[in-house]
């Protein structure tokens, strides 16, 4: 998970490298937890954090697993500053999908949208293809995206669905062969079997006044690929039989 201000902080923010604690007494979440297993985690500012980001915050994360393998991440960030100061941050869930062969994968739901290309100094372009396919390195931030995105793995005949709320943007990333060799925890050929698609809020950062709270949610599920292509109606997804992640 990324939580940063795109300033002097470490790349991708600091929340992903901090120790979280289990929250045994969380506030009510507006999610139906019937027949679902969940855990609540909490991250608060520390004296070390204040040295690099001079704000006090409370970050709550509920991780919910449904009986069919659906995974839901619900985040709540609150400004707990006592000095009256607002703070601004960007946010992204760092979700990686295992795919059979990246050259046989397509992403639907982002076609015709504007995006920022991180490989070209964040220059703005408009997606031209019917779907996103992969033939080289990709690092893009798609803007004002729909609430549902589909990742089709043709070889496995499986489609990952990403549904989101409160996160208007979406990041799509694959390092391809040359950059994969420079990433210590990624094997030289691992890029062929992974794809990062993540709900995000990047273009217009979130600003919270003291006492204010922001909420965001991302839900992941897998359905048969026969369901998908061109049918990105969220209601249809709920009617499909669900498969667990492989």
Q: In angstroms, what is the C-alpha Rg of the chain?
A: 18
Q: Would residue 47 show up in a list of annotated catalytic residues for this protein?
A: no
| 42 beta partners | 21, 60
Decide: 110 and 98 in contact? Cβ < 8 Å.
no
Q: CB within 8 A of 26, min separation 6: which ones?
A: 40, 42, 60, 62
Q: Which residue is associated with the tokens 């507006």?
A: 30
Nearest to 91 by CA among 26, 151, 34, 9: 9
> Between the CA atoms of 63, 65, 97 and 117, what dihedral angle is there, to the nearest 10 degrees?
-40
Instruction: Indicate which residue of 94, 154, 193, 203 is catalytic.
Output: 94
Q: Would residue 98 show up in a list of annotated catalytic residues for this protein?
A: no
Encoded tokens for 139: 């690092």
DSSP 3-state assignment of 175?
coil
**Residue 6 backbone dihedrals phi, psi, to 5 degrees:** 55, 25
Distance CA 109, CA 172 (A): 12
Spell 138-170 as b/e; 16+ CB within 10 A means b.
bbbbbbebebbbbbbbbebebbbbbbbebbbbb
Strands 132-133 and 105-108: antiparallel
Instruction: Indicate which residue of 108, 161, 198, 219 is catalytic.
Output: 198
Catalytic residues: 94, 198
């Amino acid at each position: 998970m990324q939580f940063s201000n795109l300033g002097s902080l470490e790349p991708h923010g600091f929340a992903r490298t901090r120790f979280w604690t289990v929250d045994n007494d969380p506030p009510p979440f507006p999610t139906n937890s019937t027949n679902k297993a969940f855990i609540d985690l909490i991250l608060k500012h520390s004296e070390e954090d204040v040295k690099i980001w001079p704000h006090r915050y409370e970050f709550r994360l509920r991780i919910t697993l449904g009986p069919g393998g659906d995974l839901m991440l619900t985040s709540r960030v609150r400004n707990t500053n006592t000095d009256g100061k607002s703070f601004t941050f960007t946010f992204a869930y760092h979700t990686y999908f295992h795919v059979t062969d990246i050259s046989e994968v397509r992403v639907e739901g982002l076609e015709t949208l504007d995006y920022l290309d991180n490989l070209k100094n964040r220059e703005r372009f408009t997606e031209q293809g019917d779907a996103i396919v992969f033939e080289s390195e990709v690092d893009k931030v798609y803007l004002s995206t729909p609430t549902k995105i589909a990742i089709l793995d043709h070889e496995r005949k499986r489609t990952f669905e990403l549904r989101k709320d409160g996160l208007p943007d979406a990041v799509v990333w694959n390092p391809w062969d040359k950059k994969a060799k420079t990433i210590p925890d990624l094997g030289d050929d691992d890029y062929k079997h992974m794809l990062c698609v993540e709900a995000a809020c990047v273009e217009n950062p979130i600003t919270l006044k003291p006492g204010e709270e922001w909420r965001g949610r991302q839900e992941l599920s897998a359905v048969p690929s026969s369901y998908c292509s061109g049918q990105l109606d969220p209601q249809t997804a709920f009617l499909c039989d669900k498969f667990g992640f492989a």
